[in-house]
Amino acid sequence: MTEGGVRIFSLQQANDLVPRLVGLTSEIVRKLDRIKETCRAKWKGEESQFPEEILKEIEDTLQDWAERIQELGVHPKGYFTVDFQSFDPELLYCWTYGEEKIAYTHKVWENFSHRRPLSESLTGTIDHMKWVH
């Protein structure tokens, strides 16, 4: 479902997408690890002097991740963290690399440091219709 171009997820839909996020993010992390190893071998600890083309390759790799994430209808937030818009316009489901399922939420005006366990965010009945005019 989309609302004004933003994809809206149920918790189940968000969790169904997590394996794709894990695979995509793992692929990018492996690519960044290869870049890092190449740099270590070639510049032997002089990381502060990496050539511009290496920095550009890292930037392009991270940009590729963000674009591929957006194509799935979710919002990249920082490195390897993703927010899903829930049916509640004030609540985001939050996933970060290393997690196997959606376990946290935060409000749209909050960030990663404000994440709270899903069980705390979803207590009580959610009235999805309260947002329909």
* Residue 131: pLDDT over 90: no
Residue pLDDT, tens place only, 29-76:
999 999 988 887 776 655 566 778 888 999 999 999 999 999 999 999
Residue pLDDT, tens place only, 63-121:
999 999 999 999 999 889 999 999 999 999 999 999 999 999 999 998 888 899 988 76
Query: CA 60, CA 105: separation in Å to the nearest integer?
Result: 29
Q: How many CA atoms lie within 13 A of 105 on its CB side?
A: 22
The verdict on pTM exceeding 0.75 is yes
pLDDT of residue 33: 94
Angle, in degrees to the nearest 10, between helices 11-43 and 52-71 = 170
